[in-house]
Amino acid sequence: MHMHETAVSRRVELRPPRPLSAGELEGIVSRLLLRLAEGLSIKGVVPGHIKAFVTEGEPYAAFSCTKPGKVVTRASNDWSGSVFLKPSLSLNVVVFGPAKDEVENLVDGCLADLPQ
């Protein structure tokens, strides 16, 4: 079986009803990646990479997921003490297997549940 890769990218500005702490924002983005990983995994792994970059001003954090249930986060030193009003979220999903519209529907469905 020859599988082809599909890349889906989105950039959105989140507009939460109230300011979010770094921990709350981290939780929202991590849950997004975990949901995508659940929907895209084969044999218990993501046959690709789901990653995100979140920032508002100086603080930033990068998120990476290659297995359902596990998200790795790398953040700037000033991330944990920061508060976020309108953070920007960049998302890249590159996976082998599913068709592009399948991945787009999953990504857009998950993003629609975020406060925008």
Partner 1 sequence: MVSGFLGSGKTTFIRHLAGYLVVQKEQRVVIIENEAGEVGIDDRFLAREGFQVREIYGGCICCQLTGELTLAVNQIAERFNPDWLIIEATGIARPSTILNTLRKYGKGIDNIFTLVIADTGRWEELSEIMPELIFAQIAEADLVIAGKIDEASESALQSLMAKAKEINPRAEVLPASLIKGIEEPVLRRLLQHAYA
Q: Which parts of this chain interact with partner 1 (CB under 8 A)?
A: 2-3, 5, 7-11, 42-53, 55, 60, 62, 64-67, 70, 72, 74, 76, 90-97
Q: Which is nearer to partner 1, 28 or 89 (CB)?
A: 89
Q: Which is nearer to partner 1, 16 or 53 (CB)?
A: 53
Q: Which is nearer to partner 1, 28 or 52 (CB)?
A: 52
Inter-helix orientation angle 22-40/100-112, to 10°: 150
Report which of 1, 11, 33, 6 is spatially closest to residue 87, judged by C-alpha positions: 11
Minimum CB distance to partner 1, residue 67 (Å)? 7
> How many CB atoms are closer than 10 A to CB 57?
10
Q: Give yes or no for a contact between 108 and 11, defined as CB atoms under 8 angstroms apart.
A: no
